[in-house]
Amino acid sequence: MAVSFTTYLFSVKKEIPHLDDDLILLLNEIASATKEISGKVRKAGLLNILGSAGKTNIQGEEVQKLDELANEILLESLKNCGKASQVASEELEECIVFSDSGYAVAFDPLDGSSNIDVNISIGTIFSIHKDSVKKPGKEQLAAGYVIYGPSTMLVMSLGKGVVGFTLDIESGNFLLSHPEIKLPEKGKIYSINEANKDKWTNEGLKKFTEYLKEEKYTLRYVGSMVADVHRTLFKGGIFIYPADKKNTNGKLRLLYEASPMSFLIEQAGGIGTTGKERILDIVPQSLHQRVPVIIGSKWEVEKCLEFMKEE
Ligand code: FDP
């Protein structure tokens, strides 16, 4: 019999001391919200919810209608469940504070916005801390993402490995499909927006991608972080969004992109670094802080760091 998300959470409660009933409720709430988002994503072309919402967010990026909808769905369910003390979202300038203590949730409601209108995989990313979102990633109690791809999958870590659930459309349940996701030590794929190469600020990184080509690696870049990290988790290799002349700290946000994804990658046996420090050690300075991201299999990330140092 397939194990549902809720049954799984109760079954691992004994092994994970911080997994109390409130956290289980909160995680269930996030899972339910993403099921609703998944439903909207699947019918987007029929519901007149594709395209731009006609405004820009705090980061100056164009907000898509589906970004807005996903944000509303998550906010509403986190507010109603009463277990979230504060909530930070890519789409909100400030953190919403419900109470002084409890679970602090940071999320990117719909990552990979530029892929929404073209029916390519997008996702929701979440990160949960105790009391405040502005804590280093290594203190995350849970982190994960939901990928809206050919199937909808929820991939999560509670700090004891990485597990994956697949949404069964018939029953409407996330069912345990990948009990132990382990990152291969070495892969064959690198993932980076190579069109920006001339703008990269680290010369060693340019040499690293040339080296990977000589080593017969192949390039895969979806442009949705969730999809690119999902592939990296299963197939190994490396995903990079580096600093460049335009984005001196890279493009990806620490709280709801780099940190939860690094948590998953490390929990699956890989490495997550900015090139200078471990992503999970960074103490956040601001809500929408950006950091360079180099994550993936141990072998490739260590090799990348060697090249970057030689600059
Ligand atoms: P998007 O702007 O489409 O929302 O977080 C932003 C993000 O997508 C990531 O999902 C993705 O990895 C990255 O930006 C892609 O950026 P580039 O188009 O600059 O390569």
CB 223 less than 6 A from any atom of ligand 1: yes
Percent of the chain with pLDDT over 90: 88
269: left (phi over 0), alpha (psi -120 to 50) or beta: left
pLDDT of 295 higher than 80:
yes
| Full-model pTM | 0.96
Q: In angstroms, rounded to a whole number, what is the distance separating the alpha carbons of residues 217 and 240?
A: 15
Q: In angstroms, rounded to a whole number, what is the distance separating the alpha carbons of residues 100 and 70?
A: 26
- Nearest protein CA to atom 8 of ligand 1, as residue: 112
Strands 293-296, 271-273: pairing is: antiparallel
**53 — phi, psi (to 5°)?**
-85, 0
Lay out the sheet containing 84-89: strands in order across. 96-97, 84-89, 103-111, 122-130, 142-148, 152-157, 162-168, 173-178
- Would you state the pLDDT for residue 282? 98
Query: What is the SS3 string spanning the chain?
Result: CCCEHHHHHHHCCCCCCCCCHHHHHHHHHHHHHHHHHHHHHHCHHHCCCCCEEEEECCCCCEEEHHHHHHHHHHHHHHHHHCCEEEEEECCCCCCEECCCCCEEEEEEEEECHHHHHHCCCEEEEEEEEECCCCCCHHHCCEEEEEEECCCEEEEEECCCCEEEEEEECCCCEEEEEECCCCCCCCCCEEECCHHHHHHECCHHHHHHHHHHHHCCCEECCCCCHHHHHHHHHHHCCEEEECCECCCECECCEHHHHHHHHHHHHHHCCCEEECCCCEHHHCCCCCCCCECCEEEECHHHHHHHHHHHHCC
pLDDT of 219 higher than 90:
yes
Q: What is the pLDDT of residues 136-172, one digit of tens each?
A: 999 999 999 999 999 999 999 999 999 999 999 999 9
Q: Which atom of ligand 1 is nearest to the CA of 114?
A: 3
Q: What is the pLDDT of residues 3-28, one digit of tens each?
A: 999 999 999 999 999 999 999 999 99
CB 57 less than 6 A from any atom of ligand 1: no
Distance 294 CA to ligand 1 centre (A): 14
Q: Which atom of ligand 1 is nearest to the CA of 90?
A: 5
Q: Please, how many CA atoms are within 13 Å of residue 75, restricted to the half-sphere of its CB?
A: 16
Q: Which atom of ligand 1 is nearest to the CA of 61?
A: 2
CB 124 less than 6 A from any atom of ligand 1: no
pLDDT of 48 higher than 70:
yes
Distance 67 CA to ligand 1 centre (A): 13
Instruction: Please enumerate in sequence order all residues whose Cβ is within 8 A of that of 46, keeping only pairs 6 or more positions apart, or say none.
Output: none
pLDDT of 204 higher than 70:
yes
Taking all residues of the chain, what is their mean pLDDT, rounded to a whole number? 95
Distance 223 CA to ligand 1 centre (A): 5
- pLDDT-based confidence at residue 311 (cuts at 50, 70, 90): low
Across 298-311, average pLDDT: 93
Q: In angstroms, rounded to a whole number, what is the distance separating the alpha carbons of residues 128 and 156?
A: 11
113: left (phi over 0), alpha (psi -120 to 50) or beta: alpha
- By C-alpha distance, which of 85, 132, 133, 127 is closest to 109? 127
Instruction: Please enumerate in sequence order all residues whose Cβ is within 8 A of that of 180, keeping only pairs 6 or more positions apart, or say none.
Output: 161, 162, 163
CB 254 less than 6 A from any atom of ligand 1: no
Q: Is 171 exposed, middle or buried (0-12, 13-18, 19+ CB in 10 A)?
A: exposed
pLDDT of 54 higher than 70:
yes
- Would you state the pLDDT for residue 94? 95
pLDDT of 47 higher than 80:
no
pLDDT of 263 higher than 90:
yes
CB 252 less than 6 A from any atom of ligand 1: yes
Q: Which atom of ligand 1 is nearest to the CA of 224?
A: 10
pLDDT of 59 higher than 80:
no
- Would you state the pLDDT for residue 116? 86
- Would you state the pLDDT for residue 53? 76
Distance 5 CA to ligand 1 centre (A): 29
